[in-house]
Amino acid sequence: MQKEKSIGIFDSGIGGVTVLKEIIKVLPNENYIYYSDSINNPYGDKSDNEIKSICNNIVKFLLSNDCKIIVIACNTASAKTADYLREKYKDIKFVAIEPAYKMVYDYAYDKPTLVMATKGTIESEKFNLLLKKYNNHKTFLLPCIGLADLIEQNKPNEIKEYLQEHISQYKGIIENVVLGCTHYPLIKNYIKDILGDVNFFDGAPKLAEHLRNILEADGLLNDSGSGNIKFIDSQNLKAKEDRFKAFIINN
Ligand code: DGL
């Protein structure tokens, strides 16, 4: 049955677990295949063509494993490949994360805002259209080159040093922080330690609602399944799977 097929979800590593976690809250009975492409991390510094080819291979793999819909749980991949993939796989729906900049417009427009994302996302045409449309004219853009990589490698000391060096100048100025990379919600506490009690904006909860609506409208909602999650890492790293599962269980 179509309904019982899995939801395919991917990122350049385990960052997309922050998206999956939100999805499970609204779709607890679906089955999932999560593809962690750690071998190609980071996507943020790669060319558009490289990312397209990498993501195309992942989508082929997920579809050959019976996925009914694909979630692109990576802002960089979404910005650079969502249109291409939708054009290429016309019968498949893609749900793509994007930096939650519209949420700032909706809920905290007048507050100074820091957008943290990969260089690839910040330079992308897609993000620049979003910025133009919802600009609050108090926005600072911070391409965090190398940060997703440190998070992927689970290096807390280097992450703290990185943040100290790159975001401490915004302390006392910034009130909103857009977490424009799916790895960044994993280091929310470190960001808070430096910037204080800022408002975080993360696209995952809205994406989860949107995914649910699409499945419902297409008659593909599985509300009686077992909620199985299959984790695949492109380097087959057991440590990744352990970290991934710990986040699902503990958060
Ligand atoms: N998690 C990815 C994102 O949301 C990026 C990490 C990377 O550069 O690979 O943009």
Same domain, 137 and 181: yes
Exactly one of 55, 67, 144, 181 is catalytic; name it.
181
Q: Which pLDDT score, from 0 to 100, does residue 24 have? A: 97
Alpha carbon nearest to ligand 1 atom 2, residue = 74
Q: For 105-137, b where at least 16 C-beta lie within 10 A, e where not — what string? A: eeeeeeebbbbbbbbbbbebebbeebbeeeebe
Name all residues whose Cβ lies below 6 A of ligand 1: 11-12, 15, 41-44, 74-76, 118, 121, 148, 181-183
Distance CA 24, CA 68 (A): 16
Domain count, the chain: 2
Residue 1 inside a domain? The answer is no
End-to-end CA distance of the chain: 32
Q: Which atom of ligand 1 is nearest to the CA of 121?
A: 10
Same domain, 40 and 109: no
Q: Which atom of ligand 1 is nearest to the CA of 148?
A: 6
* Span 73-108, pLDDT tens digits: 999 999 999 999 999 999 999 999 999 999 999 999
Instruction: Give the dihedral of Cα atoms 42, 48, 54, 60; nearest 10 deg.
Output: 140
Picking from 166, 181, 201, the residue at the C-terminal end of a domain is: 201
Residue 224 inside a domain? The answer is yes
What CATH number should be reported for the domain holding residue 161? 3.40.50.1860
Which domain, by its residues, includes 11? 6-97+204-250
What residues form DSSP beta bridges with 9? 34, 71
Q: Which atom of ligand 1 is nearest to the CA of 41?
A: 9
> Which residues, given as ranges, of the chain have pLDDT below 70?
none
Q: Which atom of ligand 1 is nearest to the CA of 73?
A: 4
Q: Which pLDDT score, from 0 to 100, does residue 133 have? A: 98
The identity of residue 134, as a single letter, is Y
Same domain, 132 and 110: yes
Q: How far is the CA of 4 from the centre of ligand 1 (A)?
A: 29
Q: Which pLDDT score, from 0 to 100, does residue 1 have? A: 73
Site to substitute for ligand 1 among 10, 12, 34, 40, most atoms within 8 A of C-beta: 12
Q: Which pLDDT score, from 0 to 100, does residue 250 have? A: 84
Q: Which pLDDT score, from 0 to 100, does residue 44 have? A: 84
What is the full DSSP assignment across 69-122? EEEE--HHHHHHHHHHHHHH-TTS-EEE---THHHHHHH-TTS-EEEEE-HHHH
Q: How far is the CA of 71 from the centre of ligand 1 (A)?
A: 14
Same domain, 91 and 16: yes
Same domain, 110 and 92: no
* Span 31-54, pLDDT tens digits: 999 999 999 999 987 999 999 999
DSSP 191: H
Distance CA 12, CA 24 (A): 20
Q: Which pLDDT score, from 0 to 100, does residue 68 have? A: 98
Residue 136 inside a domain? The answer is yes
Give Dmax over CA atoms of the chain in angstroms: 54
Distance (Å) of CA 243 to CA 97, 215, 250: 22, 29, 10
Same domain, 72 and 113: no
Kindly report the three-state secondary structure assignment for every residue of 192-233.
Answer: HHHHCCCEEECCHHHHHHHHHHHHHHCCCCCCCCCCCEEEEE
Site to substitute for ligand 1 among 45, 179, 183, 233, most atoms within 8 A of C-beta: 183
Residue 158 inside a domain? The answer is yes
Q: Which pLDDT score, from 0 to 100, does residue 224 have? A: 87
Q: Which pLDDT score, from 0 to 100, does residue 214 have? A: 98
- Catalytic, 55? Answer no
Q: How far is the CA of 152 from the centre of ligand 1 (A)?
A: 10
- Catalytic, 74? Answer yes
